Amino acid sequence: MATTDLASAPPVTPERRAKAKEATGVAVFGTFIEYYDFSVYGYVAATLAVVFFPSDDPAIGLLNTLLVFGSAFLVRPLGAMFFGWLGDRHGRRTSLIASIILMGAAAGLTGLLPGYAQIGVLAPILLIVLRMMQGFSTGGEIGGAASYIREWATPDRRSLYISFVPSFGNLGKGAAAGVAAIVALLLPGPAMESWGWRIPFLLAIPLAALVLYLRLQVEDSPEYVASKAEHRTTDKPIAEVFRNYKAPLAKVISISLVQNIGTYVGTVFVAVYFSNVLGFSKAAASTIVLVAVLIAAVLIPVCGLLGTRIGAKRLLTYSYLAYLVITIPSFVLMNQHSVGLAMLGLALGMIPYALCQAGTYSIIPEFYPVKVRHTGVAFGHSVGAVVGGGGGPYLATWLSDATGSTFIPAYILVFAGALGLAVISLAVRRNTAPAASHLYR
């Protein structure tokens, strides 16, 4: 079931088209910073394991570090509800401003945090608190950015414009991987463990300040403004989603679950996979991931443009089929102990990933009307992220260590593709509403 709010949609004018481009740029630049801040933890996880969880067994320290990584996902639904309420009650712009302030503060404070050697067990406790603050913030960012852009863009450009959300999210992850690679390359191991790991986190402070300035300059979405003027908003969006939009919520959770498995196993966990499982240096691992996510960042808008022609349902179907067909060959290349072949293999794996990203973010805002869109998208996506994103890297690490197989991540991604095919065939039906029917072909 998709909703279009045609009654409250402002007319399309050249001025609105121009403002839609500006609003999209500001929104996705903020997403870039959010995902830089959020992902940098994963790219320096091996170093953080030494600093905050010293152990005679490196695998145990890494597992503890990944548990902290996963803790951020546990609070994402709470962040989604809070920022969703803020966005549906007080405007998308207000929510986006608040989320970037919290994320920048949490990342910056992480960069200033003493390690276990300085303050003992308090160090990992504070790391968990700050990581959960990041998760709380991220819970609202995607729902806010996707809703904001969806409500600015004209129907014929929505799939393309919304695809810049995951595209710039990947650029943020690419920037995190790039900074991690440069720091690891320039600094010897002891310096990296002493102070070098702080650099990527401290960069979040000026970046977040810049995004805050830009978000303060833009207007709220015209559909939200019109809906509020017509008294079509609600004071209790959370309760209304659970009461009146159970089926759309279940669909968004299912689609987001598959997307997040692909995201966090296929682009974040692989940095640890290359260094700890396949034996590449940390610098080489970060470089391989950097190249792949930059390729994905370019591919995703291309897939978004394709989505405007064939529809998001078909786009998602193609992505899930691609996971089934491409994943195993891509991991065969990664396992050849060659940086070049590993880079090629991961780049090949970005094809289903890019298709899935573009399709997912295009389709999930369409399940809700304006009055609960931010809450519904943010909460549904965050619940999918808890299982797919929070559990995926930990499960991949545990199974790889327990079985000794280097193909565990591939098997998880193939499973995600099969699950996605089941979800898309059962959960998403063709929509007859004219403003959104192109999404469901």
CATH code, domain with 363: 1.20.1250.20
Average pLDDT, the chain: 86
Q: Please state the rounded mean pLDDT for residues 184-196.
A: 85
Query: Is 103 a member of any domain?
Result: yes
Whole-number pLDDT of residue 2: 47
Query: Is 64 a member of any domain?
Result: yes
pLDDT digits (tens, 9 = 90+) for 266-275: 887 887 888 8
State the total domains in the chain.
Answer: 1
Q: Which amino acid is at 312?
A: A
DSSP string covering 327-341, please? HHHHHHHHTTS-HHH
Whole-number pLDDT of residue 9: 55
Q: Please state the rounded mean pLDDT for residues 109-123.
A: 90
Query: Would you say residue 432 has pLDDT above 50?
Result: no
Element (H, E) at 280: none
Query: Would you say residue 382 has pLDDT above 60?
Result: yes
**Please, which pLDDT band fits residue 434 given cuts at 50, 70 and 90?**
very low
Whole-number pLDDT of residue 374: 94
Query: Is 350 a member of any domain?
Result: yes
Whole-number pLDDT of residue 378: 94
Whole-number pLDDT of residue 163: 94
Query: Would you say residue 265 has pLDDT above 70?
Result: yes
Q: Which amino acid is at 95?
A: S
Query: Would you say residue 48 has pLDDT above 50?
Result: yes
Q: Residue 158 and residue 131: Cα distance in Å, rounded? A: 32
Q: Please state the rounded mean pLDDT for residues 109-132.
A: 89
Q: Which of 76, 72, 176, 75 is nearest to 131 (CA)?
A: 72
Exposure on the CB side of residue 375, measured as CA atoms within 13 A: 25
Q: Residue 104 and residue 100: Cα distance in Å, rounded? A: 6
Q: Please state the rounded mean pLDDT for residues 155-170.
A: 90
pLDDT digits (tens, 9 = 90+) for 63-107: 677 677 767 778 889 999 999 999 999 999 999 999 999 999 998
Query: Is 1 a member of any domain?
Result: no
Q: Show Cβ contacts of residue 209 under 8 Å, excluding neighbours closer than 6 positions.
A: 104
Q: Residue 193 and residue 54: Cα distance in Å, rounded? A: 11
Query: Is 171 a member of any domain?
Result: yes
Which tokens in the block code for residue 45? 């996880």
Q: Residue 289 and residue 266: Cα distance in Å, rounded? A: 9
Lowest mean pLDDT among 31-45, 148-162, 166-180: 31-45
Query: Would you say residue 181 has pLDDT above 70?
Result: yes
Instruction: Tell me, yes or no, if the pTM score tops 0.95.
Output: no
Query: Is 383 a member of any domain?
Result: yes
Q: Any alpha helices (H) in 122-236, and if so which ranges?
A: 122-152, 158-186, 189-191, 198-202, 204-217, 222-229
Widest pairwise Cα distance in the chain: 65
Query: Would you say residue 288 has pLDDT above 60?
Result: yes
Sign of CA dihedral 324, 329, 332, 334: negative
Query: Would you say residue 439 has pLDDT above 60?
Result: no
Q: Residue 25 and residue 110: Cα distance in Å, rounded? A: 28
H helices, E strands: number in the chain:
21, 0
In which domain, by residue range, is 108 found?
6-440
The answer to whether the beta carbons of residues 295 and 167 sit under 8 Å apart is no
Query: Would you say residue 427 has pLDDT above 80?
Result: no
**Please, which pLDDT band fits residue 307 given cuts at 50, 70 and 90?**
very high
pLDDT digits (tens, 9 = 90+) for 200-217: 999 989 999 999 999 998
Burial of 14 (0-12, 13-18, 19+ CB in 10 A): exposed
Residue 308: C-alpha distances to residues 296, 301, 366 (Å):
18, 11, 14
Exposure on the CB side of residue 402, measured as CA atoms within 13 A: 8
**What percent of the chain stands above pLDDT 70?**
91
Q: Residue 167 and residue 165: Cα distance in Å, rounded? A: 5
